[in-house]
Structure 1
Amino acid sequence: MSIPHTPEAFNTFGATYLPGHLGIQILEVSPGKLAAEMPVAPHLLAPNGYLHAGSVVTLADTCAGYGCISNLPEGAQNFTTIELKSNHLGTAREGTIACVATAVHLGRTTQIWDATVTDKASGKTIALFRCTQMILYPKA
């Protein structure tokens, strides 16, 4: 996948897709790490008034996925997520949530990424996330 590995390029890449619609902004892209944030808005809340778990997972999954793209091995074409897991430890009703994803394993056929989602103002952990991605290569 040929996308420059900069926050601006990833923000443009996702602008018309789910990350853009949810307001996710990529802040940092570096080897084995990606950071982003998302403002808490009414459309990201569950009917009970708290942040919807799906909104949190989308932020974490976007960070891990973009991290994978920026760390694809030579000759790889793309990736697909084969497993994800999240543990939700808190929530937010306003403000901004932040996420930092870090590579745990950057293999030739799989990558594993951990992501921590926090309340930006308080630093309180909202969720811990792990996903495994399968690296895709062009057909020979």
Structure 2
Amino acid sequence: MNLSKEQLLAKANSASKNTLMETLDIEMIDYGQDFLVARMPVNSRVYQPDGVLHGGATAALAESVGSFASHIFLDTEHLFVRGLEITANHLKSVKDGYVYAKATFLHKGRTTQLLDIRITDDHDNLISICRLSTITLPKTK
């Protein structure tokens, strides 16, 4: 894929139209050779009843950025990516601002991948640690 950084991020964000990522306002904002970063605003749309970030919204952010990372860094012209398992350890509550998810590969195999996803807040406090395993399968016609 010979896209600039800006083009790749724009393509990833346009693929989020009419999806859960758009509903949660998840936006891919940065990537490098071995990582992808997304952010999500923390507001009443992603709260649990007591007014803090819902763990399910955090997991959705983690799975979104991890799946996009697998998609970006693998041959998705001939393969498609699906999540297999996600775990999330929530360490701190957030009431406002943004949360940022940085996905990095722990294992990048041909068939399975394992990603570490660190969720932080606007002040770089660690909010959650997530692990996502994905699988790549051949596209069929």
| TM-score, length basis structure 1 | 0.90
Identical amino acids, percent of aligned pairs: 26
CA distance in 1: counterparts of 2:109 and 2:78, whole angstroms: 11
CA distance in 2, matches of 1:51, 1:9: 27
Residue 56 (structure 1) aligned to one of 50, 58, 64: 58
SS in 2 for 1:127: strand
> In the TM superposition, what whole-angstrom CA distance separates every residue of 1:50-82 from its partner, at most 9, and x where no partner exists?
110011111111110000000114764201111
CA RMSD of aligned residues (A): 1.9
Q: How many residues align?
A: 137
Cα deviation, residue 28, structure 1: 1.3
After superposition, the C-alpha distances for 1:67-98 in whole angstroms (9 at most, x for unaligned) are 00001147642011111111100110111111
From 13, 19, 27, the equivalent of 2:29 is: 27
- Residue in 2 that maps onto 1:134: 135
Which position in structure 2 is the counterpart of 1:89?
91
1:74/1:59 CA distance change after superposition, 3 Å = closer
Q: SS where residue 73 of structure 2 aligns?
A: coil
CA contact (8 A) 1:72 1:78 kept: no
The separation in 2 between residues aligned to 1:138 and 1:125, in whole angstroms, is 37
CA distance in 2: counterparts of 1:19 and 1:75, whole angstroms: 22
In the aligned structure 2, how far is the partner of 1:70 from the partner of 1:55? 22
Unaligned runs of 5+ in 2: none
Does the aligned pair in 2 maintain the 1:7–1:28 contact within 8 Å? yes
Is 1:71 the equivalent of 2:73?
yes
Instruction: Give 1:16 shift.
Output: 1.4
Take 1:74 and 1:134, find their aligned partners in 2: how far apart are those partners? Answer: 12
